[in-house]
């Protein structure tokens, strides 16, 4: 799939979704939001695509909503930016280079993991224009960086550089300049190499358990873990047969 706004391509076990509006710093209008949603749906329907990598072209990951277009639907069930109110069925990685602002930051937070280059800048820049966070930022940022830091970013709209973003946990890894996509694809292949049923089960327990009491979370973990015990038994048999000794394969 390719449109004038978004490019979809398969790279090994990953599907790469690239926002292609470099003249607008990859700001998202209604057409781009629809293309992003279509890309997610194509990824989720492809059993061979195990990880989604979301990235942007040019000097930005994404600068958020296109405030010149003002044609996004805030009441869209999927989210104004296309899929921000949905949880992807499989892991997603944001490969970030340059500006990652406002709704762009919310899209990065939508992903499970984030890899950035040293020049990347993060921030709730919509604060200065009186635009609210409506693509999940108020809900996804606090669990990632803690409520204190999240409120500082939300209330002040200040820029956060890549080094600080990594230090506070907003970014999982800072890659050398130009290597963010390669690092994301390497990480995608690593994730894709594991038994998928149990990996997805553990991911589900972690995501759905957020906000539950400990007792409720443990029950969720037990229930979803029980569903993949057959896979666990196969893995245990491989280990007993000699695989993985000395940390091999990890």
CA distance 28 to 118: 24
Q: Sign of torsion, CA 193 197 202 207? A: positive
Please state the length of the chain: 250
User: What is the per-residue DSSP string for the chain?
Assistant: -B-SSEEEEEETTEEEEEE--GGGTT-B-HHHHHHHHHHHHHHHH-TT--EEEEEESTTEEE--B-TTT----TT-TT-TTSSTTS--SS-EEEEE-SEEETHHHHHHHHSSEEEE-TT-EEE-GGGGGT----SSHHHHHHHHH-HHHHHHHHHH---EEHHHHHHTTS-SEEPPTT-HHHHHHHHHHHHHTS-HHHHHHHHHHHHHHTTS-HHHHHHHHHHHHHTTHHHHHHHHHHHHTTTTGGGTT-
- 181-200 average pLDDT score: 96
Higher pLDDT, 249 or 127: 127
- 142-171 average pLDDT score: 97
238 pLDDT higher than 80 = no
- 138-157 average pLDDT score: 97
Inter-helix orientation angle 214-226/196-209, to 10°: 160
Q: Which of 87, 65, 61, 86 is nearest to 74 (CA)?
A: 65
Question: Cα dihedral angle (34, 75, 149, 104), rounded to 10 degrees?
Answer: 20
- What confidence category does residue 246 fall into, taking pLDDT thresholds of 50, 70 and 90? low
Max CA pair span of the chain:
62
Indicate which residues carry an active-site annotation. 106, 126
Q: What is the pTM of this model?
A: 0.91
pLDDT, residue 70, reads: 85
pLDDT, residue 237, reads: 63
Contact 117, 98 (CB under 8 A): yes
- 107-114 average pLDDT score: 98
């Amino acid at each position: 799939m390719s449109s004038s706004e978004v490019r979809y391509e398969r790279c090994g076990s990953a599907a790469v979704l690239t926002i292609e509006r470099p003249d607008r710093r990859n700001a998202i209008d209604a057409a781009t939001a629809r293309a992003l949603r279509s890309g997610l749906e194509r990824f989720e329907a492809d059993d061979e695509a195990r990880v989604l990598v979301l990235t942007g072209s040019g000097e930005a990951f994404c600068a958020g909503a296109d405030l010149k277009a003002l044609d996004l639907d805030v009441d869209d069930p999927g989210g104004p930016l296309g899929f921000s109110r949905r949880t992807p069925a499989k892991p997603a990685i944001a490969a970030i280079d340059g500006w990652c602002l406002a709704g762009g930051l919310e899209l990065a937070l939508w992903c499970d993991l984030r890899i950035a280059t040293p020049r990347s800048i993060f921030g709730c820049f919509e604060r200065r224009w009186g635009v609210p966070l409506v693509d999940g930022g108020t809900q996804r940022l606090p669990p990632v960086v803690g409520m204190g830091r999240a409120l500082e970013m939300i209330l002040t709209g200040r820029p956060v550089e890549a080094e600080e973003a990594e230090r506070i946990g907003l970014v999982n890894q800072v890659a050398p300049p130009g290597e963010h996509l390669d690092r994301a694809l390497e990480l995608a292949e690593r994730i894709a190499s594991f038994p998928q049923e149990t990996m997805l089960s553990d991911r589900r327990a972690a995501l759905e358990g957020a906000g539950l009491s400990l007792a409720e979370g443990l029950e969720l973990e037990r229930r979803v873990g029980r569903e993949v015990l057959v896979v666990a038994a196969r893995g245990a048999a491989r280990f007993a047969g000699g695989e993985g000794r000395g940390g091999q394969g990890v």
